[in-house]
Amino acid sequence: MGAESVWSVDPRTGEPRGGGPVAEVSGPAAVDAAVRAAHAALPALAERARRAALLRAAAERLHAAGPELIAAADAETALGTARLTGELARTVFQLRYFADLVDHAAEPGGFLDVRRDSADPGLTPPRPDLYRVKLPLGVVGVFAASNFPFAFSVPGGDTASALAAGCPVVVKAHPDHPETSERVAAVLREAVREVGLPEGTIGLVHGFEAGPGLVRHPLLAGVGFTGSARGGRALFDVAAARPRPIPFHGELGSVNPVLVTEAALTGTGADPGPGTGTGTGAAEELARGLVGSFTLGMGQFCTKPGLVLVPAGAAGDAFEKAVADAAAQVPAGVLLDARMREAFLDGFARRAGLGDVQTVAPAGSVPTPETPLAVRAGVLSVPAASALRGSHEALLEECFGPATVLVRYADPAEAEAILARLDGCLTATLHTPAADPDAPALLAALARFAGRVLFGGWPTGVAVADAMHHGGPYPASTSAATSVGATSVERWLRPVSFQTVPEALLPR
């Protein structure tokens, strides 16, 4: 019996796209072959100059192939060419960024973290000659995300950082964009051949069972995952249950709370922070910013603000009305697949049906002949005292898609009680004037459960930068590492100290 076929599906209609299957489901033999080919490529990646050359060649080839890749990604995700053009540009920049990091990896402050202690027999106890450096873990398994077919998929940050560390990669393609994954993998393999590295340096597998099979493979040394809490936790447990457990760096999503003070809505207080509206129209400005953020990409960002703490009273009423008005202007759109659409609609309806919950803007299905699976954004509102009930826990959890929950708090104690109930988050945002005497304490409270704390502005969008941290306490992520920025490469390295090894024999 032949292998099962992998089809590309149009998210606008839910129907398979024409042209036939785009790949085959990877059985155990295919997964084993991909991992073994990657493992055989390890020695060739030891040369840092070759790694940097690969990352730059991949960036150039992805940029050159941009139009065809963007067209394929839009056909499979409905994310739109403008959004995907920006995402591909980010991905190309990220590859070049890591190439630059590789160039300087052995310098002070570089990711190899080279340290040297000369021998000193006069110390008690005597100190031997020590040379410490970080070495690559081995083959890394990367799980592509549904919502970022470039930046968190085959050529994304996990792949780029692993290659920078000297680790070959086997990517588990996401079923929502298999054709895009195949096209991108072909481009990356062209770059691999261009710089003279083994073709197994970058592998690609498809199919649900290929995921746990990849994690269980004895030659796999680490995993990078971006996706749902349920799927990530299941694979995390597989990684921990192996005879030899391996690191599993999972980014699992988040509710990303926003705390808005009355001063931010009314314009009282001086010296507002960046992106914090004050004065006349402050509520309207903040409302437009919130709606733009939670509906960006149809609410399918892991950093979407899904919970907004707003003061009760006249200022909160004005803000709520402004949010409703802004949400009504958002065009309907399509989610990444029919399963996510149903989960979004069911999740919103279940939350809307809880006691004391008001529907500020109704989410729902708005089919058209061209997009029968389209939906509109929704907003809910609830008093903080009700949200604190055990029966209302769903309001404090992520609802993937274009929806957010306004929690109306009567006093700071209620706001603090809501924050204390939240699990680990990727981001937390504070909107208040900089002169607010409570701002330092509020920022400290948000930092206790979030990996990135914003003062003003909105959390959607993650900069590729040295100081960026994209992660957070569980369940936002399964480790203390970041999946974005310079230090993400540290996930795929392990420190080794060499003692009294002759200079000529030390690793370079």
Q: Which residues are catalytic?
A: 251, 302
Quote the tokens at residue 418.
């809501």
Closest CA to 409 of 428, 388, 429: 388
d(Cα 46, Cα 137) in Å, to the nearest integer? 12
DSSP 8-state assignment for residue 394: G
Bond into 475 cis (ω within 30)? yes
| Residues forming a β-bridge with 453 | 428
Angle between helices 178-194 and 48-64 (to 10 degrees): 130
Q: Count CB atoms within 10 A of the CB of residue 29.
A: 9
Closest CA to 462 of 178, 254, 259, 168: 254
Bond into 125 cis (ω within 30)? yes
d(Cα 143, Cα 73) in Å, to the nearest integer? 17
Q: Please compute Rg for the chain using Cα positions.
A: 24
Amino acid at 41: A
Assign 104 to helix, strand or coil.
coil
Q: CB-based burial of residue 243 (10 Å sphere; 0-12 exposed, 13-18 middle, 19+ buried)?
A: exposed
